[in-house]
A = this chain, B = another copy of it.
Amino acid sequence: MASPEIDQLTQMLAKLPGLGPRSARRAVLHLLKKRETVLVPLMAALANVNERLTTCSTCGNVDTRDPCGVCRDDRRDRSLVCVVEEVADLWALERSGLFRGVYHVLGGRLSALDGVRPEDLGIETLASRVAQGGISEIILAMNATLEGQTTAHYVADRLATTSVKITQLAHGVPVGGELDYLDDGTLAQALKARLPV
């Protein structure tokens, strides 16, 4: 229907997470219609990011600077390190604005199925950060999935010989959540970790 060049662009956009064939077509039509105000600036923004993109050598965050914005920020507590699986998790925590420490991005989770081994993740770099000193607490903030929790256990084991305090995010009833709709695993965790009122 459209030209091969436009079809190719549509297919590439359709493969991005969060987009499908339909939204990709709508996005492409918008780009074609607003060439000067949308398409050209988008190309420039992509080129800008691509040119300057780097990974923070301290924490593994993606940024256009190294060290990244979080690691450069003097107001952050460098003795508190939150360990996450992916950059997306770091962004989610940053959006909440609740955490004032720094991060360590592992770059994935241990997975026998996907062939991800400990040496594929940033676990040794975390261990050497701890060995350098200055860190008092490591917060394990992996996903509450089987693989995420396996990874958390592995990291905790790896750091067991150090004196650093290791904690993990609390499991329980999400705020606003109804008991009736909760899975049994969450209910069991919430019951086990019950607190005095």
* A31 CA to B15 CA, complexed, in Å: 11
* A161 CA to B35 CA, complexed, in Å: 37
Asked if A29 CB lies within 8 Å of chain B CBs, one says yes
Is the beta-carbon distance between A18 and B9 smaller than 8 angstroms? no
A46-B50 contact given A17-B27, A26-B18, CB 8 Å threshold = no
A45, closest chain B residue (CB): B9
- A-B contacts, 25 of them at CB < 8 A, read A1-B70, A1-B95, A2-B62, A3-B63, A3-B68, A5-B49, A6-B49, A6-B62, A6-B64, A9-B45, A12-B45, A16-B27, A16-B38, A17-B23, A17-B26, A18-B19, A18-B22, A18-B27, A19-B23, A19-B27, A26-B88, A29-B88, A39-B46, A43-B43, A43-B47
Asked if A188 CB lies within 8 Å of chain B CBs, one says no
Q: For residues 46 through 99 of chain A, which have their beta carbon under 8 Å from a beta carbon of chain B?
A: 46-50, 52-53, 62-65, 68-70, 86-88, 91, 94-95
A70 — which chain B residues lie within 8 A by C-beta?
1
A3-B46 contact given A17-B26, A25-B91, CB 8 Å threshold = no
Q: Which residues of A contact B (CB under 8 A)?
A: 1-6, 8-9, 12-13, 15-19, 22-27, 29-33, 35, 38-43, 45-50, 52-53, 62-65, 68-70, 86-88, 91, 94-95
A45-B5 contact given A23-B19, A27-B16, A50-B35, CB 8 Å threshold = yes
* A88 CA to B24 CA, complexed, in Å: 12
Is the beta-carbon distance between A2 and B91 smaller than 8 angstroms? yes
CB distance from A32 to the nearest CB of B (A): 5
